[in-house]
């Protein structure tokens, strides 16, 4: 089945640690996105990428980093510089010339 897969579903991070969230899609989509969602809130854009080896900062990129070495994969690293990382993280993708986004099931990150 075609889709977008995020892993892990739950992730716990200790203070000062970097953690990486995985996002893989087999939809052959060019554009991929990372969003952060806080409880009862909308989605805020962290980073997006329209092509391999290129990505753009979103509205809240500080404390996060990404890479796009393969079309199918867009991992997000939450660095120790992100002071309030506890949130629900959503990855999405979009096909060329298409308007609708396809979302993964999310990763819930908690700082312990």
Partner 1 sequence: SQQGEEDPQALSIQEGENATMNCSYKTSINNLQWYRQNSGRGLVHLILIRSNEREKHSGRLRVTLDTSKKSSSLLITASRAADTASYFCATDANSGTYKYIFGTGTRLKVLA
**Which parts of this chain interact with partner 1 (CB under 8 A)?**
6, 31, 33, 35, 40-45, 48, 50, 56, 58-59, 88, 90, 92, 94, 99-106, 108
Closest CA to 66 of 50, 82, 48, 42: 48
Contacts 24+ apart (CB under 8 A), 65-69: 66/34, 68/32
Shortest distance (Å) from residue 26 CB to partner 1 = 16
What whole-number distance in Å separates Cα of residue 19 and Cα of residue 13? 7
Residue 44 is inside which H or E element, if any? strand 43-51
Q: Which is nearer to partner 1, 73 or 103 (CB)?
A: 103
Q: Which of 34-46 are b and which e, b meaning 16 or more Cβ less than 10 Å from the residue's Cβ?
A: bbbeeeeeeeebb
């Amino acid at each position: 089945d075609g889709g977008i897969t995020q892993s892990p579903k739950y992730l716990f991070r200790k203070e000062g640690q970097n953690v990486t969230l995985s996002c893989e899609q087999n939809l052959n989509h060019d554009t991929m996105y990372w969003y952060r969602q806080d409880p009862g809130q909308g989605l805020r854009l962290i980073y997006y990428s329209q092509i391999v080896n290129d990505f753009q900062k979103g509205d809240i990129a500080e404390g996060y980093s990404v890479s796009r070495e393969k079309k199918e994969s867009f991992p997000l690293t939450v660095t120790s510089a992100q002071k309030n990382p506890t949130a629900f993280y959503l990855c999405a993708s979009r096909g060329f010339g298409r308007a609708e986004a396809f979302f993964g099931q999310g990763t819930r990150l908690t700082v312990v």
